[in-house]
Structure 1
């Protein structure tokens, strides 16, 4: 089997490395950030994603690090129940925990941090920061939704800002965690375009996030202190659980996520370079399919690299299998975005903020 370089040590890159490790395929990972910069907030993972994840992580280890959610409960911003829906094995886990679990099966010498990979304009080759060529037959790109490499390789692609931004944070507070059942709770403003979601990750840890219609709610300065003041102001008259979480949170690791999407999908590969996860197909966060899609990309690409003797044939089969499903999630995400922007009385009732194929 050919030598493989994986660019990016996020969820998709580490998933790819785990599947390659499982098949004893030679690889190396290159990540531009420091190791500890790879922490983050959290994810929802539907059952399908858990099935793929359990192939590379021991299920008992996985279950110790997160929570299965029982129900999705939708409230108005004042606490009136709008809808309830049972969830089928949807798992909540922090990004930090999932990164740690995916890293544990990889030898430290196989990951190099603080190494930026770039595309040389004159010869179209990927190189290290010192100008040396990457010593690999296949290069798997997993450098995220704003992939510089994809942007340089496909010059005609168009990324556009989505009419939604998110503020994401984690609060460690046992009293608040004890007051929350193992449910996915989401509060919606009556006029639409503003939500507050809550996920219990463990006995003392809660992930919260707020989605904004960024044409109505413009955040001009995103320092931690400014975000704290903004959240306190915007959510002042919401349900007491929301205001309590906002007031008691530590904002040193708060994150403002400005969401972008591709106007149309490009090919998933070119020459010996192949894209996976958000680098291949950025998904609007309403879908809750980022982790599952990354896992399926990694599994599928590895499968065809093992089965096919010809690299291009493997890439073609990978793209043919994955692209139709990604198109479904993209369309579902746009539908969920349209619903989010509407007043509550015009939204489809009991709509679940998870995309299924």
Structure 2
């Protein structure tokens, strides 16, 4: 098997590296951020994602770093219960924990941090280091996120658009507040639509929370932690008391402000010897809760076909044929969930589950 360059050390890149490591395939990861750059947010992982993840992470170790959620419960912003649904093997964990678990299986000499990789315009399929030198690799697997620079350079006619939703995500350590929350996924909805506050319990003393904003009604600009906190307190002031209590007691050092983008149409998943996985191939609206699972499945099937096929062109083709139809389902489901989020609560459908299934 030829040497592989993996660009990006997020969930998809590290998942890919773990599968390559498992099959003893030579690779190296290049990540433009610092190793410690771990914003405070997390994931919901449905049962299918757990099945793929536990092929590369010890199951018992994984389950020490998060919680299985019993129910999804919707409330109005003042605390009236709107609906609830049982959850089956849906696991909540922080990005920090999952990154650490995936990184521990990768030899440190196989990851280079603070290294920006770009295509070399004069050579098809060639990547270069920040100093302009070629990267020594026969295949490049790109996992550099939803606004992938490398994808944009290869597919220059692509059109990205900002989704009508922004998110603020954070993690709070507070035993008293955590004790007041069951092992459920709780979500408060403003009755007029376009504004929510979700709460996930990750451990006995840790809560992950996030707020979703219709960005045409609520303008959130890049701002200091203190200004963001004050803005949040103002917006959620008259909500159920649990919501402003969590906002008030949170540390905003690692808060993550997420402006969501999507491709109007998917590009091919590969070109020449360069192939895309995870958000770099197919940005998903966060309402799907399928980001981690899709990244894991991309990594699993791409590795499988690289092992089975005699050349990478056939492997890439099989990978795209396998993954693209399911991704298109999740994209459509995500757009439907986004449209519902923008509506008044009285117009919500009965299908309240915040996870896209194929």
Q: TM-score interval w.r.t. the shorter chain?
A: over 0.9
Superposition deviation, residue 39 in structure 1: 4.7
> Which whole-Å deviations, capped at 9, do the CAs of 1:82-121 have from their partners, x for residues lacking one?
0000000000000000000001111000111111101223
1:1-357 → structure 2 map (5 Å cutoff): 1-124=1-124, 125-357=126-358
Q: Secondary structure at the match of 1:267?
A: coil
TM-score by length of 2: 0.98
Q: Which runs of 5+ in 2 are unaligned?
A: none
SS in 1 for 2:203: coil
- SS of 2:210's partner is strand
Contact 2:233 2:244 in 1 (8 A): yes
Give 1:224 shift: 1.1
Query: Does structure 1 retain, via aligned residues, the 8 Å contact 2:166–2:215?
Result: yes
Aligned-pair distance for 1:220? Answer: 3.1
Structure 1 residues not aligned, in runs of 5+: none
Q: What is the CA RMSD across the aligned residues, in angstroms?
A: 0.8
8 Å CA contact 1:85, 1:350 repeated in 2 = no
Residues paired across the two proteins, number: 357
Whole-angstrom CA distance in 2 between matches of 1:82 and 1:9:
40
- Contact 1:10 1:38 survives alignment (8 Å): no
Distance 1:171 1:200 in 2: 10
Change beyond 3 A, Cα 1:326–1:116: same
Change (3 A) 1:355 1:141: same
In the superposition, the TM-score normalised over structure 1's length comes to 0.99
Please identify runs of 4+ aligned residues in structure 1 that moved more than 4 A.
Answer: none
The question of whether the paired residues in 2 share the 8 Å contact of 1:41 and 1:170 is answered with yes
The SS at the match of 1:265 is: coil
Q: What do residues 288-311 of structure 1 show as CA deviations (whole Å, max 9, x unaligned)?
A: 000000000000000000000111
Partner SS state of residue 116, structure 1: coil
- 1:220 and 1:109 mapped to 2: Cα distance? 38
Deviation, structure 1 residue 222 = 2.5
Asked whether the 8 Å contact 1:71–1:87 carries over to 2, the reply is yes
Q: Give yes or no for contact 1:84–1:350 (8 Å, CA) kept in 2.
A: no
